[in-house]
Amino acid sequence: MSKKLTEAQIQAQAIGLGIEVAALKAVIEVECKGSGFNVDGTPVILFERHVFRQRLIANGKAATADKAMRERPDLCNKTMGNYGLYSAQHGRLSAAAQYHRESALESASWGIGQVMGYHWKALGYPTLQNFINAMYLQNYFSSSYRHPSGQEECPGFLKGRNLYTISRQNSSDSA
């Protein structure tokens, strides 16, 4: 299965959401380099060091957060930033997973919608691993992709992040 979005898939989703094709294309381009997948087939991710610290604490690993902040402030920090290159993100995620895998996976934004990993449960996945598998194996806009709630992931999350409302407002303003 191709992980490259087709023009027809983008148009169908924009129509389904009631927004302009250009608005959906803009979200896809800005959030994930246009397809949600790297050339090697891995999902585009952005590992967020400040979220890693928050997730460690939320997952009962405050001592691990303190240790990671001392040893690897580039991976675990109170402040945002220092993201580095897209090409380095999977390596950063792997290094963070050495401290606590679940917190690391929850600290990256994933794929087309750049959905934060910690949203896995709210999106209806039974486990974090199910969410991660979906990010690696599926093209969000393929007709075969459905997560456990039966809905398509990216459009649903666009609505949840108010990108849908913003895009609809922009479409109405231009009409």
Residue 152 has pLDDT above 60, yes or no: no
Going by C-alpha positions, the residue among 140, 151, 175, 145 that lies closest to residue 24 is 140
**What is residue 101's predicted lDDT score, i.e. its pLDDT?**
98
**C-alpha to C-alpha distance for 162 and 97, rounded to whole angstroms:** 30
- The mean-pLDDT minimum among 1-15, 20-34, 54-68, 90-104 falls in 1-15
Residue 173 has pLDDT above 60, yes or no: no
The tokens for 138 are 């599926």
